[in-house]
Structure 1
């Protein structure tokens, strides 16, 4: 006898979540169009890969795959502590920075609370609010970036705000807030409201170092990742820096062994090779400038970026994106952000960028 089991999610808001849309994988495009010479510029991955020291570290741990990783992440946390000049008890490790964002929300936000974030900011912020059944307060953007004055007012005018998410540099627009702007914002925010600065792309703008703000504001959390400049997107390693008492709460709900043995070793090796990161920064900057000139020549508007991507206005982005894919070039349409005329394009290596511009030119004419 069949039974109709009525299952409902914990919160109605979960039903309004659209599953996160990742960049189309190279393998999928190859299957779909039979193209084997694919250029992927959709997911802001590092086209230079990772440091050679990372592959060596991974190799050394392959014989230990039957063993659980160090659940405390002792050596990686020590390396991060030394690099960032914080205490080990101020660090939380995550399975990528998304894991950290989720843990923060689960630790401090209930279905009676609210989360503040900006329009055109990382879409995961609104997702974690809905996952918690919390109210998401989206503040209109200012010149495609964060309007900190309006975000401050949103916090002060709503007694139940528990967390503010700020992406800096911002994804997908590439805008950047200065440390002075962030300091002024933090000074105006009540101490019981956590301010999370998501610094996934901070290595591309090293001049914006907000580490010092941790010593000034106990409610501040900095979230970083090894997925972008360090080239470890496939291994998923992120971390948070914050007040030790805040970290202790987040670590209570952290899943055991959430960062694998191989990932820990790789991240530690990646962190030790800052010469590689400097080469990544330089190459990205040079290619960003070249792409900007090409977009100008094509008459395309774009937002100056402080990350490793550019947001470009192309008109009918859905059609342009489809035509680019048909020719083996993967970029990221932004209709999910309400930016129907825009594409986000990762800065690639010179040969990738030449292919992009040549293909884009043929698509637009």
Structure 2
């Protein structure tokens, strides 16, 4: 598709040269009956250069290439209207180029908003802490949590303050959907001040993409999904989203286990292989249950979580199942995961992914 779009840009640009050649009598063009003034011919040449220049910067993936495409279409369509009898069919490629350029612009704006949220999250202050998590720090935790902390390598590890990770996976957007949509996601956490932003790109089918964001900052959550980064499909805020995103943050400390001793988390034992974590933040309190294997690895995380944020949304059993655990940067963390809801119709596994990269910042 990339090559096809480049060809459309180049060929469309070459066709615009006809107006320039006609205006300056540089070629015999008897089939074009409309006279073209020299100033108009110069504009046809400018449009030609813009289209072919846009093709070049698009090929090299230059940020903002879409601006040239939009400008070229605006100029071109004005010329087409002025020469409608001979040039009306140029409207078709103009519409194609405009559509692709507008979608690219929307993607750029979406990514820019995500980067702004990331900067906002990472700018939160870091409270002073001891740099190394010691065995004394975990002695009051329930035994299965202590076992996990030791097994994960968190004991003796530098306390983590911020996290960046990348995921590749596949997703379903509704129960009964047969095909999985390929996904690429990036997530950033501030561990000191519970907050995160998760951004995902989904290819629902060829040439149909969704951009999604899950955000928790200043005690508030926001779930946003847009078709082509342009048309809102889901845009939910409110108390239920706040609570659901806070539970998500708590469940995802499996990637930065030194957070288990942070003051905003309290632990209660369930049995020899499970414990319940209670997180209190910004006047919200929520619970998540951690289940461990006999060797101390996280096996799954469960919660009763709101499925959505609308008035009809209700709490449903939610489970994150660990399929693979690996050692990364000296910590044993889940690296292959699937996420499910328990519905009246049965289990709906909607997301499965691999953690492909993770970077930590530590308290000074």
Q: TM-score if structure 1 supplies the norm length? A: 0.24
Between structures 1 and 2, the one with greater strand share: 2
TM (normalized to structure 2)?
0.24
The one of the two structures with greater contact order (alpha-carbon pairs below 8 A, sep at least 6) is 1
> Rg larger in 1 or in 2?
2
